[in-house]
Amino acid sequence: MEDQALPQRTHQSSSTPSPPSSSSSSSSSLQLNLLPSMSRASHSLETLTPSRQIDRMININHHLSPSRAIYSDRFIPSRSGSNFALFDISPVSNSHSDGREDTSTAYATLLRTALFGPDAGVIAPTTPEKRSSPMCLPNHNIFRYKTETRRSMHSLSPFGFDDAAPGLNPSPVKTPRKVPRSPYKVLDAPALQDDFYLNLVDWSSHNVLAVGLGNCVYLWNACSSKVTKLCDLGIDDSVCSVGWAQRGTHLAVGTSNGKVQIWDASRCKRVRTMEGHRLRVGALAWSSSLLSSGSRDKSILQRDIRAQDDFVTKLSGHKSEVCGLKWSYDNRELASGGNDNRLFVWNQHSTQPVLKFYEHTAAVKAIAWSPHLHGLLASGGGTADRCIRFWNTTTNTHLSCMDTGSQVCNLAWSKNVNELVSTHGFSQNQIIVWRYPTMSKLATLTGHTFRVLYLAISPDGQTIVTGAGDETLRFWNVFPSPKSQNTDSEIGASFLGRTTIR
């Protein structure tokens, strides 16, 4: 070994070395290069015992002769990782130790902590301040070799290091997902109204898009791109809202005359007409066979399409037009927003709101329930508010608020990932994809020249369609499929051209 003294021979004046003579002269003809503090007589080759050989092998107080050249062709053992107890010997103190970390031991410790948690029974790697501690990691090797390069403890962790969250196992950093900035399809939608309080676009579970244009409802099949005219209400009426049943092919249509029509889209036939509202019906929401309708007359009617009566319950509480309605995914809670700047939550049997939120300062049309966490509700305010707020309806708690800088027209939560999309009006007319709960912007999409008043999401959860007063419908691929959440490649199809929905 490089730090072990090698025997040095003394040469005579002649060219041929003289052989060793007797035992009395052996100490002068064959000697060891020893430190001045050591006795030469006690270190002669003939008197070395096995234990002394081990002492010499692990002697860390030994210094090389200045005249000897130093080569770097061998590993230098780290005595700090040696287990001397295997040989029933004690390590000799090293006054010249630089206190560097044993990288192999440190890496193994950090790996075990990252995999099994901080309470996995692993003693943390020693630091220079803790080097004198009697506690040490178990080690069954005599020597532990280390590299010459000093590396920090943070760089040894295979999963990164987070100083802000001690005790937590940090996750590897993922590459941000790329969202196409352009729509892959644009449909012309003549006579699509520029009215904040209406809801004129919805996407069915059978991949059919319903759009209210003036006094007509059109259906666009996303699989075949076929356009079908479902109904014409006549010149004395107009479409104010459309809403697909959660399953099947039934479509509800709210009219400006305060009526709600139920249509079977597969047969293009009207099934039923229900009354009860005095003014236009701008909001619809389905819960199995129960249909909720919100009107400018400030009321919400609960309609069971299996019953003969036009409605079974009337909900009162709003002081102005009801413009937003959404049932939770478990069909237990109904959220309503109105032009009175209020957000209410109702249960299945209540006629008065069980929760009331007054924090918004403008009309609340944008409402979305989280499909990932029970009781998590998002709402957005109009021009004077511009905020997206999050609520826990289980604990009646206001969680957070995000000022978006512009009117919030719609909200939709992705069912594939914990993200949501918002559409906006005055003054930027943009579409924003947010990552929850950090509310960091994943993408900002532009293209509409008017307020983006309408929003619907495809049944597979990957595509959204937006509508605006510029009389266009734009299709965007913004969310990944459930099986490709960890991919960082771009999703979406190429631009397929511009067509009309009529």
Q: Is 349 left (phi over 0), alpha (psi -120 to 50) or beta?
A: alpha
Distance CA 501, CA 154 (A): 57
pLDDT digits (tens, 9 = 90+) for 193-231: 999 999 999 999 999 999 999 999 999 999 999 999 999
**What pLDDT sits at residue 75?**
61
3-state secondary structure 299-341: CEEEEECCCCCCCCEEECCCCCCEEEEEECCCCCEEEEEECCC
**What pLDDT sits at residue 55?**
52
Q: In the predicted model, is pLDDT for residue 431 greater than 70?
A: yes
Report in angstroms the alpha-carbon separations of 205 from 86, 217, 244, 489: 71, 18, 8, 27
Of residues 139 and 415, more confidence is placed in 415
Are 200 and 210 within 8 A, CB to CB? no
CB neighbour class for 178 (10 Å; exposed up to 12, middle 13-18, buried from 19): middle
Beta bridge partners of 63: none
End-to-end Cα separation, the chain, in angstroms: 88
Entry pTM: 0.66
Give me the DSSP letters along 173-225.
PPPPPP--SS-SEEEE-TT----TT-B-EEE-TTSEEEEEETTEEEEEETTT-
Q: In the predicted model, is pLDDT for residue 251 greater than 80?
A: yes
Average pLDDT over residues 282-289: 96
Average pLDDT over residues 153-178: 54
Residue 374, Cβ neighbours under 10 Å: how many? 15
Question: What phi and psi, each to the nearest 5 degrees, are found at residue 462?
Answer: -100, -30
pLDDT digits (tens, 9 = 90+) for 363-414: 999 999 999 999 999 999 999 999 999 999 999 999 999 999 999 999 999 9
CA angle 206, 210, 216 (to 5 degrees): 145
**What pLDDT sits at residue 344?**
98
**What pLDDT sits at residue 254?**
98
Average pLDDT over residues 122-137: 46
Distance CA 327, CA 460 (A): 19
Average pLDDT over residues 135-155: 45
Q: C-alpha 201: how far from its chain's center? A: 29
- Report the SS3 class of residue 281: strand
Residue 282, Cβ neighbours under 10 Å: how many? 27
Question: Residue 132: pLDDT band by 50, 70, 90 thresholds?
Answer: very low
Distance CA 79, CA 109 (A): 18
**Location of structure tokens 């002697």:** 59
Report in angstroms the alpha-carbon separations of 276 from 111, 142, 197, 239, 308: 66, 88, 19, 17, 13
- Short-list 230, 225, 234, 235, CA closest to 250: 230
Distance CA 183, CA 463 (A): 10
Q: In the predicted model, is pLDDT for residue 417 greater than 60?
A: yes
Question: Residue 77: pLDDT band by 50, 70, 90 thresholds?
Answer: low
Question: Residue 498: pLDDT band by 50, 70, 90 thresholds?
Answer: low
Question: 347: which 2 tokens?
Answer: 């249960």
Question: 481: which 2 tokens?
Answer: 């499929």
Q: Is 289 left (phi over 0), alpha (psi -120 to 50) or beta?
A: alpha
Of residues 395 and 492, more confidence is placed in 395
Provide CB contacts within 8 A for 227, sequence distance 6+.
Answer: 218, 219, 220, 221, 500, 501, 502
Q: In the predicted model, is pLDDT for residue 486 greater than 50?
A: no
**What pLDDT sits at residue 106?**
77
Question: Residue 175: pLDDT band by 50, 70, 90 thresholds?
Answer: confident
Q: What is the mean pLDDT of the chain?
A: 79
**What pLDDT sits at residue 488?**
40
Report in angstroms the alpha-carbon separations of 416 from 223, 481, 486: 21, 6, 11
Average pLDDT over residues 173-191: 89
Provide CB contacts within 8 A for 341, sequence distance 6+.
Answer: 358, 360, 361, 362, 363, 364, 381, 385
CA-based Rg of the chain, rounded to a whole angstrom?
39
Amino acid at 424: H
Beta bridge partners of 338: 322
Backbone CA torsion sign across 352, 358, 361, 364 = negative
Q: What is the dihedral of CA 382, 253, 498, 204, to 10 degrees?
A: 100
- Short-list 61, 55, 56, 81, CA closest to 143: 81
Question: 192: which 2 tokens?
Answer: 């699509």
Helices (H), 227-306: none
Report in angstroms the alpha-carbon separations of 107 from 101, 117, 441: 10, 15, 36
Average pLDDT over residues 36-41: 46
Distance CA 258, CA 267 (A): 25
Residue 19, Cβ neighbours under 10 Å: how many? 6
**What pLDDT sits at residue 95?**
44
**What pLDDT sits at residue 45?**
44
Are 313 and 351 within 8 A, CB to CB? yes
Distance CA 357, CA 148 (A): 63
pLDDT digits (tens, 9 = 90+) for 449-460: 999 999 999 999
Are 453 and 407 within 8 A, CB to CB? no
**What pLDDT sits at residue 170?**
54
